[in-house]
Every structure is written in structure tokens, then in C-alpha cells.
Amino acid sequence: MEKKIAVLPGDGIGKEIVQGAIEVLQTIAERFNHEFTFTYGEIGGAAYDAAGVPLPEATISLCKESDAILLGAVGGPKYDTLPVHLRPEQGLLQIRKELNLFANLRPTTYYESLADSSPLRKDIIEGVDLLMVRELTGGIYFGQPRERKVVDGKEAVVDTLYYEKAEMERVIRKAFELASARGKKVTSIDKANVLESSRVWRETAIEISKEFPEITLEHMLVDNAAMQLVRNPRQFDVVVTENMFGDILSDEASVLTGSLGMLSSASLSENGPFLYEPAHGSAPDIAGKNIANPLATMLSAAMMLRISFGLEKEAESIENAINEVLNAGYRTGDLMAEGKKSVSTTEMTAQVKSAILAGK
Ligand code: IPM
Ligand code: MN
């Protein structure tokens, strides 16, 4: 199979972790006889430095011409004083909007070998397998107006939470479709006791659920969900929620199984191309030190193989290799626990590559 992959490393640890994932994809190509070509583009602070904007036109065209997109991370303290529209995060928000990537999938899976790295007790996290589906192109992230102003002589500020019903329908439908192939349960998270948008979200979830009679729909208020995630995370299968709630809850969900450094993600549109990125940030404090955890990016690359290219056994090959390497005790700093072998980003990458080549 021949595929063209756009690579947007971005800022901070972005370059290091993306490099790890590309080497892993090249190893897969070698082992399973595929041809992946990688074309680099700029996004975030790196794009601002090179082109004066966080998302240059050239990057948008590159993405649209590619079969899939692999992204690292954006942001850094260097850009904190820039006006909002030039900040690195805008690059990420704009690419999501440009490509209409409305459904962001963030899986949390239990790794036996990482039980010691989780802040929670093993009996709580054992067997967790949940998929968070976060709405990614609407809500308070994008609503207008968003501005500071003076009202009756008082300093004030507005952000707008705006959703079209169709935007709710398509992401909720996606969650139900995903649940059909999994545990057949959808938990829809909202704040329907306070927000009108959440009341419409809840009604929409009920309507969509009628298309999927075999799937159980449950509603949960977001504050309760935050608590349930650490109290009894095994109760969840597919979770679907709006943009901001999903942002917050997915960070929380990620540490259930060790570290944010393990949380992969796929962002889907109706027709592609889809974008794959780790859910963590650019970690400027550890950038360039060769200590970042590349596994979330590699797991995102595995999602690319499975979802965009339909290469199931290749995806599993990456996942199995990562499992083996963790079982063998190799850990980057974020996952380090007593008695384990501390490795750098490049050593971790080398371990995963050789596990792929040695794999069945
Ligand atoms: C994420 C990130 C982004 C978000 C930031 C960097 C804009 O936190 O992908 O979760 O809030 O969506
Ligand atoms: Mn986030």
C-alpha cells in the first residue's frame, strides 16, 4: 500500500516524539511491504517563526493533499506574549476547523505493566478500556463573540458557547457507531442541570440513540463524571461530550493508566483526511532533552494505520511491540517506577522498532 502522510511536528517535544513515530511507521512499512512517504509542514510556534502565522496556507494544502496527518504538539512560553490570533494553539484550532475534524477519539486502555505508574489503586484501574469521543470543532472553543469589553463602566469579558444541533448529532452518532463495535454502551456527558446547550445535547443524544436500539445510553453530569472517572472507571465504554468538557476529562482519563504520555488520539471528519496526534502538550520544560515519552505518538500512528488505512495487523504490531517493551521494563521518565529501566526517547524508539521486527 502506498500512502502519503503529512507530518507537522510543531513545537517543544513535538519534533522528538514525531521522529519516534515516523521511525516506527517506517519499520512497519519495511516489515509489511508498504510505502509511506512523509512530507513535513509547519504548525504552531515553529510556523510563526518561519512564516509569521501559526497555520500557513502551505500547511493547509499539504494536509488536504495527504492521506493522513501526523501532528506532534504546539505551544511554548516564548509565544505567550503574542496576540491571541498568532499564538501556536490557534494553529491547532484552525487545522481542526479547516479539515472539519469534528470527532476526537481518545482511548484509555489499561496496561498491566503500568499499574505502578498510575496514581490510582490497581483494583480501580484494572481492565479499564474506555474511549472518549470529544466534539472538536464547536462549543466555547470557537463561539463568537469572544471579547473583553466595558459594560456600564465595569470591565467584563465574554466567551460564547455556540452549537448547531447538527454538530451535536454528527459527533453523537459517531460515538454510537463506535460503541456498536465495542461494549455497546454510550455515556453522554453534559451539564443539563445548568446549561441550555447541555439540555439540547441530552435531547439529541436521546434522539440519536433511537437509531441504535442495541446500545445502552446513559447520561451523566460532568461534575459527577469527573468523580466517577477516578472512583469506578470500568463503568465506561464510549463517552461522548462537548469540546471543553472533553478536553478536561480526557486529561483526567489519561492518568488512569499511567501517564498523559500514553494518550493517543485520532481526529475524524466526514471524509478525511484524518489527523493523529498525542493528546499531551509540547512540554517545553523537557524539550530537546531526549527524555519525552514517544509512545502516545506511536499509538496515534497505530490508530492512523487502523482507521485511515484499514491496516489492522500493522496497527496491532505497533501496539503489541509497545506492550512488550513496557513488559520488559523500559520506561521514559514520566512512567518511571522502582525497579524499571529508565530510557531516553531514542532508546525507547529503538526498543519499539526492534520489537516490531521481532514480532509475530
Ligand atoms: C488538546 C489541547 C488543545 C485543546 C490546546 C493545545 C488548544 O489541550 O488537544 O487537548 O485544548 O484542545
Ligand atoms: Mn487538552
Q: Which CATH number covers residue 100?
A: 3.40.718.10
Residue 88: predicted pLDDT:
98
Residue 325 belongs to a domain: yes
Residue 109 belongs to a domain: no
Residue 257: predicted pLDDT:
82
- pLDDT beyond 90 at 243: yes
Residue nearest ligand 1's atom 11 by CA: 247
Residue 356: predicted pLDDT:
98
Closest to 17 measured CA to CA, from 252, 264, 253, 257: 264
C-alpha–C-alpha distance, residues 52 and 316, integer Å: 40
pTM of this prediction exceeds 0.95: yes
Does residue 180 share a domain with residue 306? no
Residue nearest ligand 1's atom 12 by CA: 247
Domain boundary among 214, 232, 256: 256
Does residue 271 share a domain with residue 249? no
Residue 77 belongs to a domain: yes
Cα of 196 vs centre of ligand 1, distance in Å, is 24
Does residue 252 share a domain with residue 124? yes
Residue 116: predicted pLDDT:
85
Distances (CA, A) of 243 to 35, 111, 158, 163, 219: 35, 27, 18, 10, 17
In the three-class reduction of DSSP (H, G, I as helix; E, B as strand; rest coil), residue 245 is classed as helix
Return the number of other C-beta atoms located less than 10 Å from residue 310's C-beta.
10
Average pLDDT of the residues in 13-37: 98
Average pLDDT of the residues in 72-83: 97
Q: How many domains does the chain have?
A: 2
Range of the domain at 188: 119-256
pLDDT, tens digit (0-9, with 9 covering 90-100), for 121-139: 999 999 999 999 999 999 9
Starting at the edge strand found earlier in the chain, the sheet holding 185-190 runs: 35-40, 2-10, 68-73, 274-276, 266-268, 103-109, 129-135, 238-241, 185-190, 216-221
With the most atoms of ligand 1 within 8 angstroms of its CB, the residue from 89, 106, 108 to mutate is 89
Segment holding 313, helix H or strand E: helix 312-327
Residue 240 belongs to a domain: yes
pLDDT, tens digit (0-9, with 9 covering 90-100), for 192-214: 999 999 999 999 999 999 999 99
- pLDDT beyond 90 at 337: no
Residue 218 belongs to a domain: yes
- pLDDT beyond 90 at 240: yes
Residue 111 belongs to a domain: no
pLDDT, tens digit (0-9, with 9 covering 90-100), for 88-125: 999 999 999 999 999 999 999 999 999 988 899 999 99
- pLDDT beyond 70 at 360: no
288 is in an annotated binding site: yes
Residue 142: predicted pLDDT:
98
Average pLDDT of the residues in 1-13: 98
Residue 112 belongs to a domain: no
Residue 308: predicted pLDDT:
98
Question: Position of cell 499509538?
Answer: 299
Catalytic residues: 141, 191, 223, 247, 251
